[in-house]
Structure formats: structure tokens, C-alpha cells
């Protein structure tokens, strides 16, 4: 191993691969090892949500994923007599990706592995972590290749992406709190010949049980069905027979022909979360930190967002641009996100499998309830955002902050009583940044705001306000110049203006034209204000009016 390797990533599933890629992108030298011979052949984690696609777009991978996958615009339930109840659509998502992308996990791993190789790191296969020790100076990891022998790797940090049975988590003595569901399942990746649409997830209810259908590219699908109460400590051994899958499919759906199974398995669903995501210099990411029902298609997505959150922080710390205390924000931010994800998937799983505790609902009543919920737009909006993982936020984080003047309320009430401010409905510190169409100045080329937020820096977004004057622009440009001077290569400024500036006001930073005022409206920028967008696309700080001293105070917390 190279002497300058800073991080060891253990596990080369989709989350581990993306973790290593993020470390590379943020200028961290890393090594990734996996005890298996190669990538998986399974399709288990096959749903890619809108927020994950936004993340993939930020590293220029989204197009490749979308071209390879199958787009699903809705999730639907079918009654026992095969009547359709469309209870959740994705077309109204506030994202450039208003859908769920279905792609086998095996293909996800191959795409990300190729991307990682382009960044200069190859996965070391058939290499197992057999032990590690850590102290205040680093981690000493003992690695054992399959061909024999051992080596000791000295790194600054160790990241465990080694799955639900994580040996690293066990070695740390971190509790994995939660339980198993009292049901056994059968699942498979098969070719399906039937007449129902291929652009939505489908859930079928029958007296015999539930069957979930997740359509993959080229006429294939992942099927999952409950097969009765759990028996013993483990699910049945071996592979299910194709004829058994076909019999379940015939009873619970309108019917079709199944063929060419790529993989088949019995399994049991868990709902568990690590008590801590960080112990000293060791981090838990992905399934090592949380496991959930696959009904909501959340697990891999949440894991990749763990990696996206941790990558930029390690990049700043290991490149001596931020104090090590910045890493202390990983657990509070991602542990709560994981908890919320588990709550959602637990609710979906119990509702679909009739496992709500202390609740007995007849099939007729359940179908009536589903029909009512299908007509509640507010309910649909909340559910689609939750499933798409667009509602994740870090308002509670120790590294986000706000500053605004105390303004009177509509009837003169004091702001300290009502929390009144002039940001309107703009995103709060810790929220996901909002997107909109803008124009680049001076060429007036159309561009999405999210496209300007790519890269590895923090972004200082300066809104001139709808009534901006030349003096407003000069003050904001001076603030942008001063910030860049204080933090070179760490901050990228963007001045958002409602109309084009005279040439004598154009400075060093980027100027974006918001002629319809859409971005100003989405950020509550009626008056001049500023936002800081973190490298992971969340608001780290906002100030109205722009306060240079408050901004300096915030950046002192983030940067060394």
C-alpha cells in the first residue's frame, strides 16, 4: 500500500464504491478492499431515488444510470380482484428526476466501479480485514489476502461499508438496535411476460399474502412475496424453485409467465440501526449502520447519502482545511436521517404486510382506506418526498447556522416571539438547496442552479433582491471578493441578480440572471440576502441581510 494512503474503505458494494469515489474526488488517497471475488450478480438494491440521482448528477453519472435503467413514474396497489389503486405518483417531485429508477444492484456496482477506476483507484478483491486497532494518531488495520499472508495498513481513518453483519461494527462493540419482522420472504430476478405496465411499482394483495413487483430493464423484474410466519432463527435454506415462484405469481397477480431466473433467495427483513455511526477514527456507513425493509427502496440510497455526507468532511480535514471536529457532525446528521428512514420503511412494511401492532384491519376496510389516501394530495406529496428522500435535512446539525435581523410581524409583533424573518418559505439552514432555471451572464445561456453547485467547494450564494440597486450589487460583490481572499479555493461565489449588471459592476465571481424571479422566490430573497451551500447540496448558513461578520464567524467554525 502507498505510504500516503489516508483512508481504508472496507467493503466494495455500491456504498463502499461510492464512498471511495467521493474520497478520491475530494482529494483523499484511499484504498478499498473486499473479501469477495467480484461484484454481486444480484438485483437486490434495485431502486434509485430522486435525491440519489441528484447526487449522481453532481458527479456526472446520472445520465449513464438513467440510460441503463427503467424509469418508474408511480407506485400502485392492486386489490385481490386486481383493481388498480394508484396511491403514489412521482411526476410532481421537486427534482430534475421525478421518478424512481430501477436498475439491478449488479449494474450499479459496475458503473460506480468504472467511475472509481477513472479516478485512479481499483478495488482489491479477495482481501479481508481480520483486525484493527486505533489510537489518537490513526488506525492499524490487519489485512489478509486470499492467497495467504498478512499485512498491516496504517491509515488515518477506517470506513466500514461491510454490510449488515459488519465485522467492524462487531469489533467496535456498537449495538445494532432493532428487531426482525416475523415473516419469511421469497425474492427473485426473473423475466416476466404479462400485460400490466412497466412504468410503475406494483403491490398485490390476496388472501394468500402480498407480492411486490419492481420492473427492471429489458422485460425483467424483481419480485418479493411473503411466504408465511418466520420459522426458526433463519429463513429457509437453498433457492426457491421457479415453479414455486410461478404458483405464487399466479395466485396473487393477474397472471403471466416467469422464466430465466438470474437469482432466487429466501430472506428475512430486519429493521436495525447502529447506536453510533462513529467511534474514534472509525465510521459506519450504509448497511453497517442501518438495515431496513426493501419495500420502500431506501437502504442503498441512504447508504450512498451517508457516503456523500462524509466524503467532503474527510476531504477538508485530511487536506488540512478544516479541524477534525468537523467530522463530529457525521453521526448527528446521518443517524437522524437513518432513524427517519427506518421509521418510514417500518411503516410501509407493516402496512403492506398487515403487521401493524395492535391493529386488525379487514381487507375491505384496508382497500377503502387506500382509496381515501389515494385522493389526499397532501398525503401523496409528503409520501412521495419521503420515498424520494428529498425531505432529508440537517436543521439540528452542530455545523449549520442562521443570522437575520429582527423584523416586526404583520401586526407589529416582535420577532423574538414569533420567529418572524424575511426569508419567506426559503430553505432553512440544514435544508436541501432549491433548484431553478437561470441564465449565465453575459451570454444568457440557460442553466439550472444545481449545475452551478457542482464541485468540491462551498458555494456562497448572494441574492441581490427584487429591488436591488447598483449599490446593492457593489456591496455583494465586495463581500464575494473578500470571502474569496480569506478562503481561496474553498469558496465559490455566485451573485444572483434580477436583471443584467452594467459592465463596470461585473467582478470576479459568477453572475447569474434570474429574470422571472423564480430562484429569488424559492429562497425568500425579496431583499438582499446570502446562503452558503455545502458541497453535499445542503444549506450550511444563511443571513438576511448579508452580514459579513456573521459569515466570517460561520466559516471560522467550518475551516481551520
- What's the CATH number where 328 sits? 3.50.50.60
pLDDT of residue 410: 46
**Nearest-CA neighbor of 496 among 537, 462, 458?**
462
Q: Measured between alpha carbons, how far is 495 from 477 in angstroms, rounded to an integer?
A: 8
Instruction: List per-residue pLDDT tens for the chain, 560 residues long.
Output: 455 899 999 999 999 999 999 999 999 999 999 999 888 777 788 999 999 999 999 999 999 999 999 999 998 888 877 777 766 789 989 999 999 999 999 999 999 999 999 999 999 999 999 999 999 999 999 999 999 899 999 999 999 999 999 999 999 999 999 988 888 899 999 999 998 889 999 999 888 889 999 999 999 999 999 988 888 777 888 899 999 999 999 999 998 999 999 989 998 888 999 999 999 999 999 999 999 988 878 999 999 999 999 999 999 999 999 999 999 999 999 999 999 999 888 888 887 776 544 334 445 545 554 554 455 555 567 788 888 999 999 999 999 999 976 555 444 444 433 334 578 889 999 999 999 999 988 778 899 999 999 999 999 999 999 888 888 888 999 999 999 999 999 999 999 998 876 665 565 567 899 999 999 999 999 999 999 999 999 999 999 999 999 999 999 999 97
Q: Measured between alpha carbons, how far is 526 from 84 in angstroms, rounded to an integer?
A: 45
- What's the CATH number where 260 sits? 3.30.70.2450
Contact 429, 540 (CB under 8 A): yes
Q: Dihedral sign, CA of 542, 545, 547, 548? A: positive
Contact 283, 277 (CB under 8 A): yes
pLDDT of residue 359: 37
Q: DSSP letter for 13, please.
A: S
Q: Does residue 348 lie in a domain region?
A: yes
Core vs surface per residue 229-251: b (16+ CB within 10 A) or e:
ebeeeebeeeebeeeebbebbee
Give the end-to-end CA distance of the chain in Å, rounded to a whole number: 29
Look-up of cell digits 438496535: 177
Give the domain range for residue 539. Answer: 401-558
Contact 489, 457 (CB under 8 A): yes
pLDDT of residue 424: 82
pLDDT of residue 444: 80
pLDDT of residue 340: 92
Q: Measured between alpha carbons, how far is 453 from 55 in angstroms, rounded to an integer?
A: 11
Same domain, 251 and 281: no
pLDDT of residue 127: 97
Same domain, 126 and 15: yes
Q: Measured between alpha carbons, how far is 304 from 307 in angstroms, rounded to an integer?
A: 5
Query: Which of residues 225, 240, 270 is at a domain's end?
Result: 270
pLDDT of residue 409: 47
Q: In sequence order, which residues have a C-beta less than 8 Å from that of residue 213 and are 6 or more positions away?
A: 192, 196, 201, 202, 203, 204, 221, 222, 223, 253
SS (H, E, C) 175-224: CEEEEEEEEEEEEEEEEEECCCCCCEEEEEEECCEEEEEEECCCCEEEEE
Same domain, 133 and 227: no
Q: Does residue 481 lie in a domain region?
A: yes
Same domain, 499 and 527: yes
Q: Measured between alpha carbons, how far is 8 from 16 in angstroms, rounded to an integer?
A: 10
pLDDT of residue 156: 98
Q: Does residue 84 lie in a domain region?
A: no
Same domain, 481 and 438: yes
Q: Does residue 225 lie in a domain region?
A: yes
Q: Measured between alpha carbons, how far is 514 from 437 in angstroms, rounded to an integer?
A: 8
Contact 303, 22 (CB under 8 A): no
Q: What is the pTM of this model?
A: 0.92
Query: Which of residues 270, 296, 317 is at a domain's end?
Result: 270
Q: DSSP letter for 328, please.
A: G
Max CA separation in the chain (angstroms)? 77
Same domain, 169 and 112: yes
Structural domains of the chain, count: 3
Same domain, 246 and 233: yes
How many Cβ atoms are within 10 Å of 105's Cβ, its own excluded? 22
**Nearest-CA neighbor of 158 among 169, 144, 149?**
169
Same domain, 523 and 472: yes
Q: Does residue 69 lie in a domain region?
A: no
Q: Does residue 62 lie in a domain region?
A: no
Q: DSSP letter for 425, please.
A: T
Same domain, 478 and 405: yes
Q: Does residue 377 lie in a domain region?
A: no
Contact 301, 338 (CB under 8 A): no
pLDDT of residue 375: 53
Q: DSSP letter for 454, please.
A: -
pLDDT of residue 378: 53
Q: What angle in degrees, to the nearest 10, is found between the helix axes of 299-318 and 14-25?
A: 30
Q: Does residue 95 lie in a domain region?
A: no
Look-up of cell digits 411466504: 227
Q: In sequence order, which residues have a C-beta less than 8 Å from that of residue 308 and are 6 or more positions away?
A: 18, 22, 55, 536
**Nearest-CA neighbor of 294 among 329, 262, 334, 265?**
265
Q: Strand pairing of 257-274 and 290-291?
A: antiparallel
Same domain, 245 and 312: no
Which own/partner contact pairs does 465-473 have at CB distance under 8 Å and 24+ positions apart? 465/498, 465/520, 465/525, 465/526, 465/527, 465/528, 465/529, 466/498, 466/517, 466/520, 466/525, 466/526, 466/527, 467/526, 467/527, 468/497, 468/498, 468/528, 470/502, 470/505, 472/528, 473/497, 473/501, 473/505
- What's the CATH number where 523 sits? 3.40.30.10
Amino acid at each position: 500500500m502507498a505510504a500516503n494512503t489516508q483512508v481504508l474503505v472496507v467493503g466494495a458494494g455500491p456504498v463502499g464504491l461510492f464512498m471511495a469515489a467521493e474520497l478520491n474526488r475530494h482529494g483523499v488517497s484511499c484504498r478499498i478492499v473486499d473479501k469477495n471475488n467480484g461484484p454481486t450478480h444480484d438485483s437486490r438494491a434495485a431502486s434509485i431515488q430522486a435525491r440519489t440521482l441528484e447526487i449522481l448528477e453532481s458527479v456526472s453519472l446520472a445520465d449513464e444510470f438513467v440510460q441503463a435503467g427503467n424509469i418508474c413514474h408511480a407506485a400502485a396497489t392492486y386489490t385481490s380482484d386486481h383493481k388498480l389503486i394508484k396511491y403514489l405518483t412521482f411526476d410532481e417531485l421537486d427534482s430534475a428526476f421525478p421518478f424512481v429508477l430501477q436498475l439491478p444492484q449488479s449494474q450499479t456496482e459496475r458503473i460506480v466501479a468504472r467511475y472509481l477506476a477513472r479516478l485512479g483507484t481499483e478495488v482489491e478483491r479477495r482481501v479481508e480485514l481480520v483486525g484493527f486497532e486505533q489510537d489518537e494518531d490513526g488506525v492499524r488495520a490487519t489485512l489478509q489476502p486470499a492467497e495467504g499472508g498478512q499485512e498491516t495498513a496504517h491509515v488515518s481513518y477506517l470506513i466500514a461499508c461491510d454490510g449488515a453483519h459488519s465485522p467492524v461494527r462487531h469489533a467496535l462493540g456498537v449495538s445494532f438496535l432493532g428487531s426482525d419482522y416475523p415473516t419469511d420472504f421469497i425474492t427473485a430476478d426473473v423475466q416476466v411476460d404479462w400485460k400490466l405496465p412497466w412504468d410503475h411499482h406494483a403491490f398485490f394483495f390476496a388472501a394468500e399474502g402480498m407480492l411486490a413487483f419492481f420492473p427492471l430493464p429489458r422485460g425483467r423484474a424483481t419480485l418479493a412475496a411473503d411466504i408465511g410466519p418466520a420459522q426458526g432463527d433463519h429463513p429457509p435454506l437453498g433457492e426457491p424453485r421457479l415453479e414455486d415462484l410461478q404458483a405464487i405469481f399466479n395466485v396473487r397477480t393477474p397472471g403471466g409467465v416467469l422464466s430465466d431466473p438470474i437469482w432466487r433467495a429466501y430472506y428475512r427483513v430486519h429493521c436495525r440501526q447502529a447506536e453510533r455511526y462513529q467511534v474514534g477514527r472509525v465510521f459506519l456507513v450504509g448497511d453497517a449502520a442501518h438495515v431496513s425493509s426493501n419495500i420502500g427502496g431506501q437502504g442503498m440510497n441512504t447508504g450512498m447519502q451517508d457516503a456523500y455526507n462524509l466524503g467532503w468532511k474527510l476531504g477538508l480535514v485530511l487536506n488540512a482545511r478544516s479541524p477534525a471536529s468537523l467530522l463530529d457532525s457525521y453521526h448527528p446528521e446521518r443517524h437522524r436521517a437513518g432513524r427517519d428512514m427506518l421509521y418510514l420503511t417500518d411503516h410501509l412494511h407493516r402496512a403492506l404486510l398487515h403487521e401493524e401492532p395492535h391493529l386488525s384491519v379487514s381487507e375491505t376496510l384496508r382497500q377503502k382506506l387506500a382509496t381515501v389516501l389515494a385522493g389526499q394530495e397532501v398525503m401523496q406529496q409528503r409520501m412521495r418526498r419521503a420515498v424520494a428522500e428529498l425531505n432529508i435535512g440537517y436543521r439540528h446539525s452542530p455545523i449549520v447556522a442562521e443570522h437575520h435581523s429582527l423584523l416586526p410581524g404583520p401586526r407589529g409583533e416582535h420577532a423574538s416571539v414569533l420567529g418572524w424573518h424575511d426569508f419567506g418559505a426559503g430553505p432553512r439552514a440544514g435544508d436541501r438547496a432549491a433548484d431553478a432555471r437561470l441564465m449565465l451572464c453575459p451570454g444568457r445561456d440557460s442553466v439550472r442552479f444545481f449545475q452551478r453547485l457542482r464541485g468540491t467547494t462551498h458555494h456562497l450564494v448572494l441574492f441581490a433582491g427584487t429591488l436591488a440597486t447598483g449599490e446593492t450589487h457593489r456591496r455583494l460583490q465586495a463581500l464575494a471578493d473578500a470571502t474569496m481572499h480569506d478562503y481561496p479555493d474553498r469558496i465559490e461565489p455566485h451573485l444572483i441578480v434580477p436583471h443584467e449588471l452594467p459592465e463596470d459592476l461585473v467582478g470576479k465571481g459568477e453572475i447569474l440572471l434570474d429574470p422571472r424571479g423564480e430562484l429569488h422566490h424559492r429562497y425568500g430573497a425579496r431583499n438582499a440576502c446570502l446562503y452558503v451551500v455545502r458541497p453535499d447540496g445542503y444549506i450550511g448558513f444563511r443571513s438576511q441581510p448579508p452580514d459579513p461578520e456573521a459569515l466570517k464567524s460561520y466559516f471560522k467554525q467550518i475551516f481551520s
